[in-house]
Structure 1
Amino acid sequence: MWANLRKHKWLVLSLFVFTLAGLARLIPGLRTIDDAFITFRYARNLLAGEGFAYNTGESVLGTTTPLYTLIMAALGSLTGGVKAPFPTIALIFNSLADGLTAVLLLRIGRQLQSFWAGLGTSLVWTILPFSVTFAIGGLETSLYVLLLVATLAAYLEKRYTLTGIIAAAVLLTRPDALILILPLGFDRLFFDPKRRGVALHRHELLGFFLPTILWFGFAAFYFGTPLPHSITAKQGAYLLEPIEALIRLLQHYATPFMGNLTFGNLWNGVGILFYLFFSVIGILYLIRKQGATWPFLLFPWFYFAAFAIANPLIFRWYLTPPLPFYIFAILTGLNKILRDVFQTEEYPPPKRKLLYRLSTLVIAFVPLLLVIRAWDWQPDHGLQRPAPNMAWYLLELRYREAAEIVSLDAANIDNVPTLAAGDVGVLGFYTGLPILDTVGLNSPQTLDYYPINPGFIAGAAYAVAPELIFDEQPEYIVILEIYGREGLLKDPRFDEQYSLLHKIETNIYDSDGMLIYKRLP
């Protein structure tokens, strides 16, 4: 039996991490994030024959993930059409994607002769909150990371046409994939042919450019622009300090294994130096071993620089893509140092081997123990199952309540009313009403009202623009009180035109409830 296990070690390990990843996502269950419902509504409208649109008749590309949207629509067509259970479909699909990512990380470790780093990264990925949260949250993050890692695996194996196809897919999943694709293309054009003796072939160019040109050509024709509208909207709607993204990224890169939960917040200052040191050691070691790895190993730092300079509001899921490469470099660096320490002549061969074997357990399992502390065994809201503590979806639950209230009231109105909101995912999906997106992701007319008067900001990074409401006159408005505290709710015109239909008690974002307003006759 043990002989067979050793013989099939890679298959056994692959099945183990794949299964562990699946269980770590199926056990917490559905904790769908608001943005995911935007994608689901696009998919549902496609199946309903209403085109690639969020609001019927409005050709606006409000999603940054067209490939994931099309996949959800395709899977939805097989599981109920417009009534398909999109959150469940996304959970199952994302669980499979993360399982495959874990298997590929093992494979990459084997390819680079860094078994323990590959195993450690794979194990961490199976339960890492920054992976699990967005898989069960229904976002495209799992697909995005799978394609990033698959691009590395294919490139290492010199499967260049496949690399081009996967690179196209990853770009159509998230536009920020350019942060990896550009240096990868640079390497393939100028360095890789000399390094590995394989000339650039037209098939790999065709594999990348054909799907991207087809999509961007369609988008330019259908939407009027190949770029997602939401990119511009997010830059204008949120008011941020100049280095806000930089600070958040530093905190994140200091805690890839959530070490602050074990060692306290002081670890943020120590961790960035600690992990930077091991990451640099790992990067240098791996690049010397295989030069083709440099675009991937430096991707976390290109990503860091791009987002720090652009300074967008850093949503939680923006922090996930660099982690597999960052963690792999850290564990490789740690492994190299331990090997150098315990394989010196100071130790006799038997002791040397034992000490090194014991030290490798640190690489594989200590990060796992740190990460598992970031799970709640009995969450304080929603499903009472073990889940990452960052898989917080209380806001989505409150919006679901609001959607039910609005739907019941709207049933008594003869015409089809418009609903205005800043967080439109849950509300748009469950009411089915036309949506005025006050952030502007899906409503281009909103952009004319931002940037907003800073005096309207009450503590969050965002506030509803009062003039947008008075000009567009939606029948319903659903907002957290803090979004209107210093602006819309203080404007005397608002009380003249709207009445409070219902208040849902909540203190999310220091808000005094979630407010549902209805336009007066």
Structure 2
Amino acid sequence: MGLILTGFILTISFYDITYDDVFLAFRYAKNILSGNGFVYNIGEKFLGTPAPFFVLLLVIGKYLAAFLTIPQVGGLISCVSLLLLSLFVYAIGRSFGQRMLGALAAIFTLINPLIVMTLGSETPIYLFFVTAAFYFYYCRGQIYLPAFLLALSILNRVEGIIPAALFCGHFILTRRKFPLRASVIAILTMLPWLIFSFFYFGSPLTNSMGAKIAQRQAGLGSFIYTAAWWMHRMVQNIDLFYLAFIPLLVFGVQYFIKKGRGWSILFFWIVFQTVAYLILDVPFYHWYIAHIGLAISILAAMGSIELLEIFRSRIGPIYKAGPIIVIVLIIFAAAAEVQVDINHHYPNPVNQLNTATGKWFIANSEPGSSIAYLEIGQIGYYSERQIIDLLGLVTPGASDWVRKGNFVWAYLNYQPDYIIYNPMFSSWIGVILNEPWFKESYTEVEHLTSPGYPEPLIIYKKHPGARLTPPLEVDAAQIKREQPGDEIYGNDNKGQTFKARESNMSGIEVSLFNFNKQNNKTVIFHLKETPDSSSDIFRHEFLSSEVVNNSGYLFHFPTIENSSGKSFYFYLDSPESTQGNAISVWTALKDPYKDGTAWTNERSINEKDLAFKVFYKP
């Protein structure tokens, strides 16, 4: 009862936490409740949410509690799921005769920031389903209920396939037969959705995971590198929660080896899911490590018990209360730290800005108008306008072009009425600012800001009747940006050789860097057949003040019809630039592009390549 009460107080404290991506599910639920069908954009049957079961829960919850908003319904559902998750963690410990361990693990789960930060979403529901399935299968010896729960976990997140496969493998190894009846139950549970989604969307598979993988292929940070950076940043904040738990985790591993093997299959699931993310090479998002938060909570509880046993055996009964007091203080301090951190970050500046932006569109744009942007969750939910998702989560076709590094395709293909530009994302979308079609067809109409957010959202509106040029397609590309080159000034130049794979080459985008300075000198782009060619195929002069920092600059030139299979060379120079008033280009190390190499001052640099894309007219 004490655990339930503690969990209830904590979850109610956190129920209004949410983040931008979850609003995709909220908008699907809103459209269902409004009679528009299971769609994100009205009239467009495209499955972009990774959590159809969560959408169903939102619809039911909103129907039963009409006085709540859909985000509040989502928050309460995920908070209840977190409470149930902690109760099943406790139940697992109790079934192993480890009641204290289970209670500590449950409390640590309730206050673990890696899990708390996913509240409002489907992730706590997923963790609850898998943990409950483990309890009923491994601790109670049941088969059919775990199969049902694992089927729901798959409907809630496709990653549920991993624990389902693990449980199936364990059943086969331990019982020497295939779990046929359990598999039938799982299939029957999912069958209504499979039939509906096949006929409604054309496929039961969500576009979400494919779009995330496309983002990684387009250059978004790797799972391991970004997760390590993210965790390092959290530890750097000297939060008491993280520092206090480090020794507990060390002792927890020791306890697991001695007495915690019963938890193995749960840890196997956590390891396998992490490995799956690495194999798929998905980019890092904080909800992709919530399951690791569960492992940390259990190991910390094991470490606490190990410390208690060490005190009992080595120091004596007079000091038994010491470690208990320390652990209780850690729990309360950690809970307070998490609460302070949550209050500080929610609602955070980006949430406030995106919400205000969505409401701006309600007041200042026509119903049915379209908006193109990257962070579409809250803006899409509150604007009630057609959304063109540049990353392709909810926009058909876009993720295929993102995979090739082409972020301009969605603009030119869908021709939005409004474009939102955020300087924070200049490396992906800054290229449009110097595009002729953008300058000719769009006018800036609003700057929206939020206290604490470093950049404004700039809204551009398309001129009435404007028609954009047909989109180009990416041919050759090297999109890694690992190191800015030296300044280009005086007699210095930097270039790249490459091979065109397609005919009709008509543009080259180069990733530029202005050192966060207002440069004002002329820069010259040259395209030649080879570094030794005496004349340029194409030459273009532009001012360095036009360069958007960390962004691409697309140079258009007359179509080269017979470009397929031929090698070319481009370079940049700026004789009138001076040190401190010059730009540079982004480069990649270890020669990732094999059909060419970087050049500096007429010398090839075999271990480097510039960051660039070659475009052609299809």
Structure 1 and Structure 2 fold alike (TM over 0.5):
yes
Q: Within 1, Cα distance between the matches of 2:308 and 2:358?
A: 56
Say whether 1:335 aligns with 2:305: yes
Higher strand share: 2
| Map 1:20-419 → 2, pairs under 5 A | 20-26=9-15, 30-80=16-66, 85-135=69-119, 138-155=120-137, 156-191=139-174, 193=175, 202-238=180-216, 244-250=222-228, 260-262=236-238, 271=246, 277-286=250-259, 288=261, 290=262, 293-336=263-306, 338-339=308-309, 341-344=310-313, 351=316, 353-363=317-327, 365-370=329-334, 372-376=336-340, 387=342, 389-391=344-346, 393-411=348-366, 416-419=368-371
The answer (yes or no) to whether the contact 1:335–1:363 under 8 Å persists in 2 is no
CA distance in 1, matches of 2:265, 2:235: 27
Q: Which moved more, 1:437-446 or 1:357-366?
A: 357-366
- TM (norm. structure 2) is 0.67
Q: Is residue 475 from structure 1 mapped to residue 445 from structure 2 by the alignment? A: no
Partner-residue secondary structure (3-state), 2:430: coil
After superposing the two structures, state which structure 1 stretch, 488-497 or 210-219, moved more.
210-219
* Structure 2 counterpart SS, 1:503: strand
Seen in structure 2, the aligned counterparts of structure 1 residues 278 and 235 have a Cα distance that, compared at 3 Å, is same
Residue 51 of structure 1: SS of its match in structure 2?
Answer: coil
**Residues 328 and 183 of structure 1: CA distance in aligned 2, closer, same or farther (over 3 Å):** same
CA contact (8 A) 1:243 1:311 kept: no
> What SS is found at the alignment partner of 2:117?
helix
- Would you say the 8 A contact 1:282–1:330 is kept in 2? no
Residue of structure 2 in register with 1:5 after alignment: none
Give the secondary-structure state (helix, strand or coil) at the position aligned to 2:283: coil
Partner of 2:456: 513
Contact in 2 for aligned 1:498/1:519 (Cα 8 Å): yes
3-state secondary structure, aligned to 1:373? helix
Q: 1:18 matched to which residue of 2? A: 7
Q: Which amino acid aligns with 1:477?
A: I
Q: What RMSD in Å do the two structures reach over aligned CA positions?
A: 3.2
8 Å CA contact 2:349, 2:450 repeated in 1:
no
The alignment status of 1:465 with 2:407, answered yes or no, reads yes
Partner of 2:471: none
Give the one of 485, 500, 510 matched to 2:444. 500
CA 1:218/1:282 → structure 2, altered by over 3 Å: closer, same or farther? farther
- 1:266 and 1:408 map into 2 onto residues whose CA distance is 44
TM-score (norm 1): 0.79
How far is the alpha carbon of 1:22 from its aligned partner? 3.0
Instruction: Spell out, residue by residue over 1:124-145, the C-alpha distance to the aligned partner (whole angstroms, 9 max, x if none).
Output: 222333333332xx21122122
**Secondary structure in structure 2 of the residue aligned to 1:517:** strand
Matched length: 461
CA contact (8 A) 1:125 1:131 kept: yes
Letter in 1 for 2:370: T
Distance 1:327 1:282, change over 3 A: farther
Name whichever of 60-69 and 158-167 sits farther off: 158-167
Contact conserved, 2:218 with 2:404, CA < 8 A, in 1? no
| Residue 361 to residue 259, structure 1, CA distance change in 2 (3 Å) | farther
* Identity fraction in percent: 20
Q: Shift of the alpha carbon at 1:25?
A: 1.9
Q: Tell me the CA shift for residue 200 of structure 1.
A: 6.7
Tell me the distance in 2 between the aligned counterparts of 1:393 and 1:294.
38
Amino acid aligned to 2:414: E
Long gaps (5+) in structure 1: 1-11, 378-386, 454-463
Counterpart Cα distance in 2 of 1:481 and 1:508 = 15
Q: Deviations over 1:441-467 (max 9, x none)?
A: 0012212432355xxxxxxxxxx8224
Provide closer, same or farther for how the CA distance between residues 251 and 409 of structure 1 changes in structure 2, counting only shifts above 3 A. Answer: closer
How many Å separate the matches in 2 of 1:264 and 1:19? 23
Aligned residue type for 2:385: L
Separation in 1, partners of 2:130, 2:80 = 15
- Tell which structure's C-alpha radius of gyration is larger: 2
Q: Note the alpha carbon deviations across 1:440-495, whole angstroms, 9 max, x for none.
A: 00012212432355xxxxxxxxxx82242123211111231333463111213211
Does the Cα contact within 8 Å between 1:114 and 1:332 map onto a contact in 2? no
In the alignment, is the contact (CA less than 8 A) between 2:151 and 2:160 conserved in 1?
no
What is the deviation of 1:67?
A: 0.6
Q: Would you say the 8 A contact 1:297–1:325 is kept in 2?
A: yes
- SS state at 1:130 partner: helix
Inter-CA distance 107–265: structure 2 relative to 1 (3 Å threshold): closer
Question: Which blocks of at least 5 consecutive residues in structure 2 are unaligned?
Answer: 465-618
User: Could you tell me how far apart the structure 2 residues matched to 1:109 and 1:252 are?
Assistant: 31
Q: 2:277 is aligned with what amino acid?
A: F
More helix, by proportion: 1
AA partner of residue 354 (structure 2): Y
Question: 1:327 and 1:72 mapped to 2: Cα distance?
Answer: 28
Q: Deviations over 1:188-230 (max 9, x none)?
A: 1212x38xxxx87654233222123442343233222222112
Question: Partner letter of residue 284 of structure 1?
Answer: I
Q: Greater relative contact order (Cα 8 A, min sep 6): structure 1 or 2?
A: 1
Q: Which amino acid aligns with 2:401?
A: Y
Q: Which amino acid aligns with 1:488?
A: I
Is the CA contact (8 Å cut-off) linking 2:360 and 2:383 kept in structure 1?
no
